[in-house]
Amino acid sequence: MFIKSIVLCCGFLAVTSALNNVFVAKTGYKAQADNDNVQDVAKKLEHLETSKKFEDLLARMEHLEAREKSREKTYLREIKNLKRELLIQTRRTASFEIMVRRLSSKSPGNLNHEMDKTEETSNDRNGRIKSAKTPFREVMPASRIRRAENENPVAFFATLSQHLTHMGAHQPITFDNVVTNIGNAYNSHFGSFIAPVSGTYVFSATLFALLHNTYSAEIVKNGQTLTRMYVYGSDTVRDTTSQTIVLELQKGDDVSVHNINVDRPVHGDHYSTFAGFLLQEDFSSSAIVGK
């Protein structure tokens, strides 16, 4: 009986040891599997982080490329303006060189004769010396050099893109589509041109009629009517009219085209236009070069 008990105990211990070995083996396998899963997750997270960094890098490169393109456009525009200024300066220098050559071509005797005119004197009854009066315009050509061309280029051209309906009497026609505006003297919101410098200007206006509508317009300077235009539109005929005028303007003078009739439409669709440019700048009130 005692031997039997010992045998049973030994068998129990053997079974227990076997079960422990199986448990340890299973636990080790599970730990290995968990470790592999953790490594897979870490690799995926690392891959996602790398992809995000790459996307951020691409976005930054696109931003830098857009900024460089914007700077390039700005540089090209500045270069264009500098070229235009250089052309103006080159023409001005050439004009001055011509004037200097003309003055230098005069003989010293002629120059001295012109200077002697200012020193002529005459005696009065008391024996005192009195300087002779020399007209100012006689010494002007030899002593002063004036500008020979416009220093401030001014020109504009605008069209009416939309029909203007139910206009009031003497309401300005706002030619809203600005094609050219050198000098920025034309205001498309008010339809008016304000002279940036004094001088002689040329203006031109063309108006077109809608069907079944007839109206009149006027070119106005500082609120004063200069010329009038008439446009006729019937059931089958649409008329057009245009005028060109030459004005001497002072700096700040205003020129615009006004509607005359009440509740009359003006044809748009780029048929009606308004344009003007500086023909000759007035330097009479400006500083004189060489003075």
pLDDT value, residue 8: 66
pLDDT value, residue 34: 65
Contact (CB, 8 A) for 247 and 203: yes
The 8-class DSSP code of residue 168 comes to P
- Tens of pLDDT, residues 114-133: 555 544 544 444 445 444 44
Q: What is the CATH number of domain 155-281?
A: 2.60.120.40
211, pLDDT greater than 80: no
- Residue scoring higher pLDDT (232 or 179): 179
User: Pick from 160, 187, 179: which is nearest to 259 by CA?
Assistant: 160
Query: What 3-state class would DSSP assign to 228?
Result: strand
- Tens of pLDDT, residues 35-87: 767 777 777 777 788 888 888 888 888 888 888 888 888 888 889 888 888 88
pLDDT value, residue 65: 86
Contact (CB, 8 A) for 235 and 212: yes
pLDDT value, residue 234: 74
Cα–Cα distances (Å) from 176 to 124, 173, 189, in that order, read 70, 9, 7
Contact (CB, 8 A) for 201 and 153: no
Question: Which residue ranges make up each domain of the chain?
Answer: 1-105, 108-143, 155-281
**Band of the pLDDT at 157, cuts 50, 70, 90?**
very high
Specify the amino acid at residue 70.
S
Cα–Cα distances (Å) from 218 to 155, 177, 195, 200, 221, in that order, read 21, 20, 19, 20, 10
Contact (CB, 8 A) for 71 and 120: no
Three state DSSP letters for 87-122: HHHHHHHHHHHHHHHHHHCCCHHHHHHHHHHCCCEE
Bridge partners, residue 111, by sequence: none
pLDDT value, residue 281: 92
Distance of alpha carbon 113 from the chain centroid: 53
pLDDT value, residue 12: 66
Beta strands per DSSP E along 147-214: 155-159, 164-167, 177-182, 186-187, 192-194, 199-208
- Tens of pLDDT, residues 168-182: 888 999 999 999 999
**Band of the pLDDT at 258, cuts 50, 70, 90?**
very high
Cα–Cα distances (Å) from 96 to 22, 92, 147, 178, 199, in that order, read 110, 6, 8, 35, 21
H helix or E strand, kind and range, residue 68 = helix 2-104
